[in-house]
Structure 1
Amino acid sequence: MLAMEYSFTLPADYDMAIIERRIRDKGPMLDGFPLLRFKAYLSAKKKDGSAENLYAPFYVWDHPDGMSNFLTGPGFAALTRDFGWPRVATWTVWHAKLAKDLSVTRFASREITAIAPYSDLAALRQATTEAASIASDALADVVGFDPTAWTLVRFRLWRELPKALAGDAQLYDVGHISLP
């Protein structure tokens, strides 16, 4: 499995209704996309406490071919035409706990942490996987590893606004979830 995200930072005075409309209109187009476990259409608004206005979809792919087919397809071409050429972050998924019904998701959180040089990666993998396995009211809990940037990502989907998150976690509204 692979996790993938790209993010667009939008001006502070950007009309975020444009993003909400885009999600509403285009979100269902990826429902049933081959090899996609889920896509969360995410946005964050400066007026709601985010540091920036963001449009930042997050994906979990069952196989790299799904990601490749999406990135080389017409949907991604239209996105780059409308918003520009993003940096696409990817992580190898170490752990993914997904509820049976993700359609009730309303919020998401994403934490990215640096991996210290010379870390014991096997121990880190075990510790992060065990921590993610501990009971949580999240609908999804995904932990991924990127050895090119030496980072970990922890991405969670929520039905209700989470009560406590890490200080550097980015909180998002979820406008749509595309599922297999």
Structure 2
Amino acid sequence: MIAMQYSLVLPADYDMSIIDRRIRDRGPLLDGFPHLRFKAYLAARKQDAGFASGENLYAPFYLWDEPEGIDAFLSSPGFAAVSRDFGWPSVQTWLVRHVELTANLAAATFAARETVPIAPYSDLASQRDSAVAEAKSAIAAGALAAVAAFDPTKWMMVKFTLWPNLPELVRETMQLYTVGHISLPNEL
């Protein structure tokens, strides 16, 4: 599995209802997309209810079963439309270490993403074990999904969770988002 995200920083005075409408209108188009485990359509506003983001963002997060899914999406008219409307984004990818998904994933209303550097010469096996334990702990605390992944080219780890409500444990290193839609495979 591969996790993927691009984050589009929007002007401070951007009308975020445009993003809400885009998610509402186009979100279902990726339901059942080949090799997609889920896509979380995410947004953050400078001033969101209950939490503040430093910027206005549109930042969808994807979990792919196969790399062919990433290629198909990035080559699609949908991604071409994103690039045309907002510019050519930098697409981050991470190799997935562990995933926990619940049956009611579509009920997510909030997401949290934390990226942390991996120190040189770290015990990667121990970090993997800790990431698995943290993912399981997040699910036990009420998360609907928990993804632990890493990028060995930049030596960064990402921890991504989906929640039915605003998560209680929020750290300064986390970016919080509202979830507008979750695209899932047809069989889920």
**Range class of TM-score, shorter chain:** over 0.9
Spell out the pairing of 1:123-134 with structure 2 (5 A cutoff). 123-134=126-137
Q: 1:114 and 1:125 mapped to 2: Cα distance?
A: 14
Q: Corresponding residue for 2:12?
A: 12
SS at match of 2:171: coil
Task: State yes or no: 1:70 paired with 2:59.
Answer: no
Give 1:109 deviation, angstroms: 0.4
Residue of structure 2 in register with 1:102 after alignment: 105
**Residue 78 of structure 1: SS of its match in structure 2?**
helix
Residue aligned with 1:46, SS: coil
Pairs aligned (count):
180
| Poorly superposed stretches of 4+, deviation over 2 Å | none
Q: Distance in 1 between matches of 2:113 and 2:19?
A: 19
Matches within 5 A, 1:115-126: 115-126=118-129
What is the TM-score of this pair, normalised by structure 2? 0.94
For 1:87, the aligned partner's letter is: S
Tell me how far apart the structure 2 counterparts of residues 105 and 155 of structure 1 sit (CA, whole Å): 13
Cross-structure match for 1:171: 176
Unaligned runs of 5+ in 2: none
Residue in structure 1 matching 2:143, options 128, 138, 141? 138
SS of residue matched to 2:95: strand
Aligned to 2:176, what secondary structure does the other structure show?
A: strand
Work out the percentage of aligned pairs sharing the same amino acid: 61
User: Which piece of structure 1 moves more, 129-138 or 13-22?
Assistant: 129-138
1:131, CA displacement in angstroms? 2.2
Equivalent position of 1:51 in the other structure: 54
